[in-house]
Amino acid sequence: MAATRRLSHSVAVITINHPPVNALSHSLRRSIAKEFGDASKDSSIEAIVLCGANGNFCAGADIKEFGSSTLDSVSLNNINDAVERCQKPVVAAIEGVALGGGLELALSCHYRVANVQARVGLPEVLIGILPAAGGTQRLPRLIGIPAALDMIVRGRHVPATEALQLGVVDEVVKANTIDAAIQLARKVLGEKYNHH
Ligand SMILES: CCCCCCC/C=C/C(=O)SCCNC(=O)CCNC(=O)[C@H](O)C(C)(C)COP(=O)(O)OP(=O)(O)OC[C@H]1O[C@@H](n2cnc3c(N)ncnc32)[C@H](O)[C@@H]1OP(=O)(O)O
């Protein structure tokens, strides 16, 4: 399990890979933190796309590690804060599911592109915990308190088209989600340079 990084022109594409659903195990979190930190510091990289392997963005915290002491040593909160604070545009490319900590990671990105088949949600309530990696703050800021509360207290999976209407994602595409995310990142970069 690892996060891997490739370059598309000046956009780093970081792929989260922990089959089958890219659950955020301790070792995956450590790998994401390393790849993201390196990409943030690399002056040849102008923007970052985060995506998942195996047809999913990320199903959230690794439930199988709950109760183990590895939970906090590389916290998802620290990763999310670093993503949010990044000076380079960061775009999440969401395929399959972005659930729990997976959606919280995507919410920390500056933009989100989802495949039309994707689903997003904060199902923590269904297993008796809270979206404790920023979801209770970032989601209401993005879509308003009533809609965010509805998602948080029901824990339902929201289809991509509804997520677009709610404002959880910025764009929905039928195919080539990662390419669309790269394009959005390049568009944002173009706008940045046009303003200077
Ligand atoms: C204690 C404080 C911690 C703070 C953490 C910060 C806050 C974040 C919390 C969270 O993220 S909690 C987790 C939230 N996510 C979920 O609850 C998702 C649960 N999973 C599902 O809804 C479904 O599994 C799925 C992802 C929609 C996939 O469904 P599908 O029907 O396609 O496959 P399944 O047979 O259900 O699952 C396949 C396989 O994957 C394993 N798995 C699924 N989710 C997780 C997970 N979050 N962690 C670890 N493993 C997961 C599932 O157990 C199956 O494994 P096997 O049985 O095949 O070994």
In this prediction the pTM is 0.96
Q: Tens of pLDDT along the chain (196 residues)?
A: 678 888 888 999 999 999 999 999 999 999 999 999 999 999 999 999 999 999 999 999 999 999 886 556 689 999 999 999 999 999 999 999 999 999 999 999 999 999 999 999 999 999 999 999 999 999 999 999 999 999 999 999 999 999 999 999 999 999 999 999 999 999 999 987 666 5
**Count of CA atoms in the C-beta half-sphere (13 A) of 65:** 15
Ligand 1 atom nearest to CA at 130: 7
Residue among 134, 36, 33, 31 at smallest CA distance from 88: 36
Q: What is the pLDDT of residues 139-161, one digit of tens each?
A: 999 999 999 999 999 999 999 99
pLDDT digits (tens, 9 = 90+) for 48-75: 999 999 999 999 999 999 988 655 668 9
**In sequence order, what DSSP letters do the residues of 32-86 get, joined into one string?**
HHHHHHHHHH-TT--EEEEEESTT-SB--B-GGGTTSTTTTTT-HHHHHHHHHH-
Of 1, 16, 18, 21, best ligand 1 pocket probe by most atoms within 8 Å of the beta carbon? 21
- What amino acid is encoded at 138 in this protein? R
CA of 146 to the centre of ligand 1 (A): 26
The structural domains of the chain, ordered by start, are 2-194 (3.90.226.10)
Q: From the CB of 19, is ligand 1 less than 6 Å away?
A: no
Catalytic pick among 35, 46, 95, 104: 104
